[in-house]
Chain A
Amino acid sequence: MKAPVPFGQFYPGDSPVHRLEPRAKMGLVAAFMAMLFTVDGFAGLAAATAVAAVAVAVSSVPPRLVLRGIRAVSIILVFTLLAHGLRWNPATVTLLRVGPVALDAQGVVTGLFFVVRIVLLVVGTSLLTLTTSPVRLADGLERLMRPLEVLRFPAGEVAMMLTVALRFIPTTAEEAEKIVVAQVARGARFDTGGLLKRARAYVPVLVPLFVSLFRRADELATAMEARCYRGGAGRTRFTESRMTRADRAALLVGAAVMILVGVVL
C-alpha cells in the first residue's frame, strides 16, 4: 500500500555518486543533458545509455528505483512515438496500414530516438535526486544561485523555500496516504467509474490534505519566526558544502567527455 521510496526521493547510500558534491553532480547532469540534446544518432544515444548505466551501477541505487520515474512520463513516451510514427494517407511504403492511417517505419525509428532521449533524461535527473539528500540539493542550488545576489536575487530565501518544500514531500505523501486509507475505511472507492467520477472521488482526500498543509505551513512559519528567522540575509550554514579536488576533476573530466561525445556522435 505504501511505496518505500517514492519517485525521486532520496535513497541513502555511501557510493561515490552519493559522496559527489551536489554542484558537481548538478553540473554533470547538465552536461549529460547537453550530450543528449547534441547527439543526432543512435550511436550517441548508446554512448549516453552507457554513461547512465555506469553511473547507476556505481551509485548502488537499485535500477528499478531509477526506472520508476519512467512510469510518470509513459503517456508522453507513447504520444512521442505515435506523433512521429503515424501518417495520414502516405504515398510511400509503410509498416502497417489501417484505412487511411499508417505506421511509418522511418517515423517509428525517429520516434524511438526521442523516446530513448526522454527516458535517459528521466534516468539522469532521477539519479541526481536519488543520490542527493534534499538538504544537500538545496544547499548546492543556493551555492549556485549565490552570485545572483548582486542582482538582488533572494538566493537564501529561494533555497530555504526549496529545502522546506523538498523536506515536506515525503510528509505530504504520507499524510495523503493516511487520508486515502481513512476514506477507504469509510467505503470510498478511487478505482471505479469514469475519469470525472474518479476525479470527484478524490475530493474527500484533497480537502483535508489542503487544510492540513495550510495549517502545517502556518505553524512552521510561526515556529521559524519564533526561532528568529528573518529571511536569508546574513545567514550562514553549520556545514558548508565544499568542492574537493576530486569533485572538480570529476566535474571537468566528466562534463568534457560527455560534451565531446555529444558533439562527435
Chain B
Amino acid sequence: MSLTLAGVRHTYAAGTAFATDALAGVDLSFEPGELVLVLGATGSGKSTLLRVAAGLLTPLSGSVEIDGRSVDGPLAVVEPGVGFVFQSPEMQLFAETVEADVRFGPLNQGLTEDEAHHRATRALEAVGLGAEEFGSRSPFTLSGGEARRAAIAGVLAMDPGYLLLDEPTAGLDVEGREAVREIVARSRRRAGVVVVTHDAEEFLGSADRVILLCAGRVTFDGPADELVQSPERFAEAGLKAPEMLLAQMLARDAGLKLARLSLDPAEAALLIARAREGAR
C-alpha cells in the first residue's frame, strides 16, 4: 500500500525557448498514515511533484503507481483516491452554497445525492465549519480562512486515501493557520498526508518524514528529527532553518555543547541550560 513515483523527470515547454526543468529524476514513496513534509525553495519542483503524484500532470519520463497499480490520468476518481488541495484552493469555489460546492467532488465520483450530502456534512464538520451554520451560505461570503477550510472540505469529502496539500497555510492569519494544521493532523489518521511548503516552521514539528527538494532533486529524505539535528541542510536547499534551530546553532557557535537540537522551546531552553552548567 503506497503512492510511488519512480524515475520521474519533467520539463515544462520541453523543446522550446521556454523549457524549464522541474523534476530531474525523483524516486519517492508515500505510505498511508504518515505525514510527509516536502520542503524546497521557490522553483525547486515541489508543486510539480504534487501534480505528478495526483496524476494531473504526465511527466516526460517515469511512472506513478498507487498500491502497485500504474494509473494514467487524475487519481482523484480511482480507489484509493488521491486528493489535492491546491495553493489558494478557495479559488475553486463556484457553487451557490458551501454544501453544494463540497458535494461537487463526491458527485463526480459517482455517489448518489444522499451519499454526497452525507459526505459533505461530515467533511464540513471535520474542518470546523458546522454544516448547519455554513452549509447554506454562499462560498463568496466566507472569510479567507473559512473559504480555505471549505475548499479543503471539498477534497476531504472525496475520502482520499492520500491527501496532497500545496502550501496549505499560505496567506492565512494565525487562527487560520492553526485551523489548517489541526485539519492536517486529523487527516493523517485516515490517509497518507503530503504537505508541500517552503516554510519549514509550519509542519516540521508534527511531520513523520521530511523530503528536501533542490532544483528538482531529492537532497534529503528521512525522519524529521534527523533533519533537525543537521540544520545546515536547510541552507543547502536554499531554505531558512526554523528560528528555534537558528538560536541553538548560535549557542553552539558561541561554544555551548548542546546534546541535541530541539524544535520545542521548553526542551531547547533545558538543553541550553544544561550545556551552560556543563561549561561551568
> Contact residues of A with B, CB < 8 Å?
1-2, 4-5, 11-12, 62, 175, 178-179, 181-189, 203-205, 207-208, 211-212
Contacts and interface: CB of A to CB of B under 8 A. Distances in A.
Interface stretch (B35-43, B91-99, B118-126, B271-279): B91-99
A208 B12 CA distance: 26
B158 A187 contact: yes
A1 B12 CA distance: 9
24 contacts: A5-B16, A12-B17, A62-B16, A181-B56, A183-B92, A184-B56, A185-B54, A185-B76, A186-B92, A186-B105, A186-B108, A186-B154, A186-B158, A187-B104, A187-B105, A189-B108, A203-B94, A204-B92, A204-B95, A204-B104, A205-B94, A207-B94, A208-B92, A208-B93
A62 B108 CA distance: 40
A111 to B, nearest CB: 34
Nearest to B18: A4
Main secondary structure of the interface of B (DSSP, over half): loop
A66 to B, nearest CB: 14
A179 B92 contact: yes
Interface string B73-97: 0101100000110100101111100
Contacts of B57: 1
A186 B104 contact: yes
B109 interface: yes
Given A185-B83, A208-B92, A212-B91, A5 B18 contact: yes
A199 B151 CA distance: 23
Contact of A185 (B18, B58, B84, B93): B84
Contacts of A4: 12-13, 16, 18
Contact of A188 (B18, B83, B108, B140): B108
B51 A187 contact: no
Given A4-B18, A5-B18, A187 B77 contact: yes
